[in-house]
Structure 1
Amino acid sequence: MSSDTLNENQSLTDSSLQSNHPPQKFLLHVVGAVAFAHLLNDSIQAIITASYPMLKSAFSLNFTQIGWIALIYQLTASLLQPWIGLYTDKHPKPYLLPVGMVITLLGIALMAFATNFSMLLIAAALIGVGSSTFHPEASRIARLASGGRFGTAQSLFQVGGNTGSALGPLLAAAILIPNGQYAFAWFILLAGLAVWVLLRVTRWRITHASALLAASAKRSVSVLNPKQITRAIIVICILLFAKFIYIAAISNYFTFYLIERFQLSIQTSQLYLFAFLGSVALGTFFGGPIGDRIGRKAVIWVSFLGAIPFALMLPYANLTWTAILVMFVGLIISSAFSALVVYAQEAMPGRVGMISGVMFGLMFGISGLGAAGLGHLADLYGIHWVYQLCSFLPLLGLVTFLLPDTRAKQA
């Protein structure tokens, strides 16, 4: 069969699909709703992280115990996510979204009234379970409502989470640190608002998303062969390791670093952490739309190579340059995540829930292991030494060279 005939047949197939399932518009109200729920979810998570100095003092914890709290939370979030995504790819369970947020609400309530280290671990585990049900299903809805602008939808969804992560330290500084552990109870209101939003999103999915799911299933054709998919997944795992170990070092221990090295107060150090997390949100916002235009691999290259000089200089800078450099690193390195998620979804179409679960699961799992490991290293060698070690992590971004180019394949 000639290439002209093949092209004709492909054109007829595409036309048939388009006539049966007209191109959908970008549904901003739906993507915006799951992004807002992501903001609420991740602000709760960031409040937990920002509370570590207070918990360390209130419960007489060491860095290793702080690392264990982070590890338990991150592992419960990460281990369940791929399985939830895989299951709901085949057996949709829309109401998992609000149910998961109810579990998060229970975890926050327990954190407010915990009386010992074991109860803190159980509370962290509950919040992790709630997160594990939220991310794959909410990411799926963002993709369904994207109208084909997958990177843009994923960025808006993710920037909601990043914005929540940035707001967490400010809320902790304003409410939690001055008032102590019981002030956690105020954040039950955030979880309750998220439950309400997710109930409305779930109703939209039940009544409107069937045609979108059917159209997506019919267009599910991978542009990579099995060997390329395997290679791509290995490279993505390495990139996620580099990115999230580095971000874990900042998110979990930046306040301790600033307090020890520059003698800042806890509340002032939270403002610097907010600056970093805000730059992460901004970088995430631009990463997806740029990936839609120039390709996912190009964004990944820029993200890792661009962060290298700033990361290497950070451990040796004074306070002013520390603030500047950490914002540049956050802005640049965060732009890769949306591109990595959409790249993986394009490589393995029809497995949106599983891929989202794996990607977000790896994010939480790597961050949790990193937090525990870095906490132990900080006890042994000091927090400044840990930051010197982590400054080399962006160099692992050079493995992007091995990532197959899905944009070229599609062309």
Structure 2
Amino acid sequence: MLTNTSQNQRAITLLAVGHACVDVYQGAVAALVPFFVAERAYTYAAASGIVLAASLLSSVAQPLFGAVTDRRPLPWLLPVSTIVGGLGIALSGLGDSYALTLLFVAVSGIGVAAYHPESARIARVASRGGHTAMSWFSLGGNLGFAFSPALVALVVGFGGLTMSPLLLLPALAGSVLCLPALRLVRREQDAAPGAKHSAQALTSAVDDRRSFLRLTLGVICRSVVFIGLSTFISFHMAQSTGWGPTAGTAALVVLYLGGAVGTVLGGRLAERWDRVTVVSRSYLLTVVAVAGVVLVPGPTGYLFVALASAGLYVPFSLQVTLAQDYLPNRVGTAGGITLGLTVSVGGIAAPGIGLLADATSLRTALIPLIAMPALSWLAFRGLPEPAAAIGPARTTPVELPSEKVE
């Protein structure tokens, strides 16, 4: 028989793998852009419009889904939203209509938006608010990001955009993995002392909205630089090295894999120092790293891509737990804004970068990204380290429909 600790670990592992299956589709949007350019002759601005379509609805919808799940837990959203996210990307390569392509990637963005607030809330329950466990959950999403360029290259690179329906397979796997994870979390919570009184305990906590707002501003700046690099790093490194499209795909993989390392490192560092300090110093390092990516030519750029990725991802899971501790009465909203907004709202700036690149050069268009981590550092500077509102007695119970998961 599994102990509560073993159940928690297994639940976090399943949730992390499911998170990877969902975030494949966030990474897939940027990975598909070069193929849209090659097969459909899109300009930089048109290609970045696809990123905007996936990001705009997602960034708006995620706080709404978070607010809904704060009022009533909806665990069934995990398998359903996973399928929706995968279906949009799977259909995006079919036909030549730009409008339909925008529609399909927007549908995928809505699916991703529905997934993150509820999954972050459930992961918080399973991890009992632990920084390391939450970093493993976040790592799953980052690995999905990291492997999405390879998956897209394998499927679309060999068969063209008409093979995109095969990209639905991770969504099918992720939706199945959600069910045992939800069952394990429910069992652990039912067995936890005081679980029935957790909602009443939660309402006694006080929300720190001012700190949460500052954190959100920092998250938005982080998102702009990350999505900007995700969208254009493949083109930039291909030009910088002169090695062609292969160099661009390699840069995208480095960007995402470096994020996986940064996420785990962030959880470890937070066990030694407070989260605000770790996040602030990471953004200072990222300023130098992004400058190197944009301004240093040749293969050395890959080193700066890796450093920028790690610097951007060390704060990733820490921002989620900070946000949830700033808004202990609205953990769904906090998770929806931080876990989802970090990889969506930056897409709103992508068309502006594309237009500037079309008018000048890609390197010139990327220079403003250097300032974004500095703005994030300013937003986090001086933020208080909240008292952690962690544990079964401080988390909203997971309401699971027994007929679906038992």
1:349 pairs with 2:328: yes
The Cα of 1:214 is off from its aligned counterpart by 4.0
d(CA) in 2 for partners of 1:196 and 1:23?
22
The equivalent position to 1:231 in structure 2, one of 210, 213, 220, is 210
2:115 paired residue number: 134
The equivalent position to 2:134 in structure 1, one of 154, 157, 167, is 154
2:9 paired residue number: 28
May I ask how many residue pairs the two structures share in their alignment? 385
Deviates more, 1:97-106 or 1:29-38: 97-106
Structure 1 residues 284-295: aligned runs within 5 Å: 284-295=263-274
Quick one: which amino acid aligns to residue 256 of structure 1?
F
User: Against the structure 1 CA distance between its residues 196 and 26, is the aligned structure 2 distance closer, same or farther, given a 3 Å change threshold?
Assistant: closer
The Cα of 1:260 is off from its aligned counterpart by 2.7
2:126 paired residue number: 145
The equivalent position to 1:298 in structure 2, one of 252, 277, 281, is 277
1:115 paired residue number: 96
The equivalent position to 1:186 in structure 2, one of 151, 154, 166, is 166
The Cα of 1:289 is off from its aligned counterpart by 3.4
d(CA) in 2 for partners of 1:78 and 1:152?
26
3-state SS of paired residue (2:93): helix
The Cα of 1:35 is off from its aligned counterpart by 0.7
3-state SS of paired residue (2:41): coil
1:310 paired residue number: 289
Structure 1 residues 329-344: aligned runs within 5 Å: 329-344=308-323
2:354 paired residue number: 375
2:307 paired residue number: 328
1:12 paired residue number: none
Gaps in structure 2 of 5+ consecutive residues? 391-406
d(CA) in 1 for partners of 2:209 and 2:128?
28
User: Against the structure 1 CA distance between its residues 110 and 333, is the aligned structure 2 distance closer, same or farther, given a 3 Å change threshold?
Assistant: closer
The Cα of 1:152 is off from its aligned counterpart by 1.6
The Cα of 1:104 is off from its aligned counterpart by 2.1
The equivalent position to 2:152 in structure 1, one of 164, 172, 189, is 172
The Cα of 1:315 is off from its aligned counterpart by 2.2
The equivalent position to 1:278 in structure 2, one of 229, 232, 257, is 257
2:76 paired residue number: 95
The Cα of 1:406 is off from its aligned counterpart by 2.1
Q: Give yes or no for contact 2:66–2:333 (8 Å, CA) kept in 1.
A: yes
Normalised by the size of structure 2, how large is the TM-score? 0.87
Deviates more, 1:399-408 or 1:342-351: 399-408
Quick one: which amino acid aligns to residue 152 of structure 2?
A
d(CA) in 2 for partners of 1:171 and 1:106?
15
3-state SS of paired residue (1:320): coil
The Cα of 1:365 is off from its aligned counterpart by 4.0
The Cα of 1:243 is off from its aligned counterpart by 1.2
The Cα of 1:197 is off from its aligned counterpart by 0.9
Quick one: which amino acid aligns to residue 76 of structure 2?
Y
Quick one: which amino acid aligns to residue 291 of structure 2?
L
Q: Give yes or no for contact 1:35–1:158 (8 Å, CA) kept in 2.
A: yes
The Cα of 1:34 is off from its aligned counterpart by 1.0
User: Against the structure 1 CA distance between its residues 62 and 216, is the aligned structure 2 distance closer, same or farther, given a 3 Å change threshold?
Assistant: farther
Normalised by the size of structure 1, how large is the TM-score? 0.86
Quick one: which amino acid aligns to residue 71 of structure 1?
L
1:160-184: CA deviation from partner (whole Å, max 9, x where unpaired): 1111111111222233223210221
1:202 pairs with 2:176: no
Q: Give yes or no for contact 1:107–1:125 (8 Å, CA) kept in 2.
A: yes
User: Against the structure 1 CA distance between its residues 24 and 202, is the aligned structure 2 distance closer, same or farther, given a 3 Å change threshold?
Assistant: closer
The Cα of 1:380 is off from its aligned counterpart by 2.1
User: Against the structure 1 CA distance between its residues 104 and 401, is the aligned structure 2 distance closer, same or farther, given a 3 Å change threshold?
Assistant: closer
Quick one: which amino acid aligns to residue 195 of structure 1?
S
Q: Give yes or no for contact 2:241–2:247 (8 Å, CA) kept in 1.
A: no
3-state SS of paired residue (1:367): helix
Deviates more, 1:23-32 or 1:362-371: 23-32
Q: Give yes or no for contact 1:41–1:194 (8 Å, CA) kept in 2.
A: yes
The Cα of 1:279 is off from its aligned counterpart by 0.5
Structure 1 residues 10-29: aligned runs within 5 Å: 27-29=8-10
The Cα of 1:24 is off from its aligned counterpart by 6.2
Quick one: which amino acid aligns to residue 297 of structure 2?
N
2:378 paired residue number: 398
Runs of 4+ in structure 1 off by over 6 angstroms are 22-26, 221-224
Q: Give yes or no for contact 2:223–2:342 (8 Å, CA) kept in 1.
A: yes
Q: Give yes or no for contact 2:325–2:387 (8 Å, CA) kept in 1.
A: no
Q: Give yes or no for contact 1:102–1:195 (8 Å, CA) kept in 2.
A: yes
1:190-222: CA deviation from partner (whole Å, max 9, x where unpaired): 111111112333344455545666464355378
Q: Which has the larger radius of gyration?
A: 1
Gaps in structure 1 of 5+ consecutive residues? 1-21
Q: Give yes or no for contact 2:325–2:388 (8 Å, CA) kept in 1.
A: no
CA-based RMSD of the aligned residues comes to: 2.5
